[in-house]
Amino acid sequence: MTSAYASAPASQSSAVSSPASPAAAADACGAPELSRMTLRQKLAQLIVVGVTGTEDATQVVRREHIGGIFVGSWTDKSILTSGAARRLSRSQPIPLMVTVDQEGGRVSRLSSLGIDSPSARELARTKTPGQVRTVAASIGRQLAELGITVDFAPDADVSDESADEVIGDRSFSNDPQVVTEYAGTFAAGLEDAGIMPVYKHFPGHGHGSGDSHTGVVRTPPLSSTITSDLVPYRTLLRDPGNAGVMVGHLIVPGLTGEETPSSISPRAMTMLRTGKPYGGPAFNGVVFSDDLSGMAAISERYPIEQAALMSIKAGGDIALWITTDRVSAVLDAMQRAVTAGTLTQARVDRSVVRILRAKGVLHC
């Protein structure tokens, strides 16, 4: 398989024209690439993990050829400034997703490198949508220069929380239409710079009770989220470009049941994929879990081997967590699931095709 590190990502807009298109796409698109990959190599593309620095990243990538790495607040930033992340990506037959949380405001993981911007709420208060696109494009260019390819931003939550609450000023507004406009222009600015944006936290964290970092979060019933938290996604995913979606650890009455967070809920994932019943378009882009190992909403209930598998089986494409410790064990668990028939090869192939499209390896 040829590397496509410098290739431009393909748009997803044509891929979401029909809810039935993903299965057909896996058959028609990417067949040569898939045929050259072992099952474990395919499964490895479904994993993005946090790394402590260059050595940690190099070891896990060379050992298991995972799909990507996450640069967190704890990561030695020399992995970026030295060019190590870019070189590591180029050394792989399939380029890495090099990911980061760079929303602006208090979620600015690269502020130590001089990459910063106001919070989403401050941007919406002080700038026009066009100006926000320019800000995001500037951020994106700085990320791209460091070898980053994916930004887990913008936050598309609808919230009127005080600024320092869990979502708070990470949200552009408590008005769904304002969130839609500003999140869309922020994402467009990132794409202008060649960075893949990721909308979060589907199906909406803005009115949830609690913080998924410390425990269970319950949102208002689905009937309420449809008229508020889910409104931005109805427009943003109509023409998503190369944007992904991150699914949060959110229990939504009337959708997920009383004990199952959306990140591991087949019903929540199906709603995202089909657009039903919330009235959105079908989405065939890359779906990420929120962090599966460092957030108590999941980690206090499931070991990472189980949580990652549950997220993929539910319908996600990429299981995200913040340490490299259990990567091989997670891959072992996924392989056992395929052998047992509880996770099908066809299902894995569909995710791999989406990921390769997002990376610019496939253009079909």
Cα distances (Å, whole numbers) of residue 140 to 36, 97, 143, 301:
33, 15, 5, 36
Is omega for the bond preceding 220 within 30 degrees of 0, making it cis? no
- Spatial distance between the Cα atoms of 339 and 318, rounded to a whole number of angstroms: 20
- Pseudo-torsion of CA 180, 183, 185, 188, nearest 10°? -120
Q: From the first residue on, what is the mean pLDDT of each consecutive set of 10 residues in the chain (364 residues)?
A: 35 37 61 97 99 99 98 97 98 98 93 94 98 98 98 97 90 98 99 99 92 82 98 98 98 94 98 98 98 88 96 98 97 98 98 98 95
The angle formed by the CA atoms of residues 85, 90 and 94, to the nearest 5 degrees, is: 110
Q: Using alpha carbons, select from 176, 180, 178 the residue that is nearest to residue 237.
A: 180
Q: At 50, which helix (H) or strand (E)?
A: strand 47-51
Q: What is the pLDDT of residues 209-254, one digit of tens each?
A: 877 777 788 999 999 999 999 999 999 999 999 999 999 999 999 9
* Bridge partners for 53 per DSSP: none
- What φ, ψ does residue 35 adopt, rounded to 5°? -65, -20
Region at 148 (left for phi over 0; alpha for psi -120 to 50; beta for the rest): beta
Which strand (E) or helix (H) includes residue 34? helix 31-35
- What residues contact residue 123 under an 8 Å CB cut-off, 6+ apart? 104, 117, 132, 135, 172, 182, 186
Catalytic residues: 213, 290
Contact 37, 321 (CB under 8 A): no
Cα dihedral sign, 191-196-202-207: negative
pLDDT for 150-187, tens place per residue?
999 999 999 988 888 889 999 999 999 999 999 999 99
Give SS3 for 264.
Answer: helix
- Among 89, 46, 100, CA closest to 355: 46
Domains of the chain: residue spans and CATH: 45-359 (3.20.20.300)
Instruction: Look at the block and give the residue holding tokens 């552009």.
Output: 172
* Token pair recorded at residue 236: 């943003």
In angstroms, what CA-CA distances link 253 with 107, 208, 223?
A: 29, 11, 9
pTM: 0.91
Q: Give the separation between CA 39 and CA 236, rounded to whole angstroms.
A: 33
SS3 for 193?
coil
Q: Map residue 110 onto helix, strand or coil.
A: coil
289 close to 320: Cβ distance less than 8 angstroms: yes
Mention every residue, 6+ apart, whose C-beta is less than 8 A from residue 61.
69, 88, 92, 96
CA distance 115 to 106: 12
Residue 50 forms beta bridges with which residues? 70
Q: What is the pLDDT of residue 27?
A: 57
Q: How many whole angstroms separate alpha carbon 286 and alpha carbon 263? A: 13
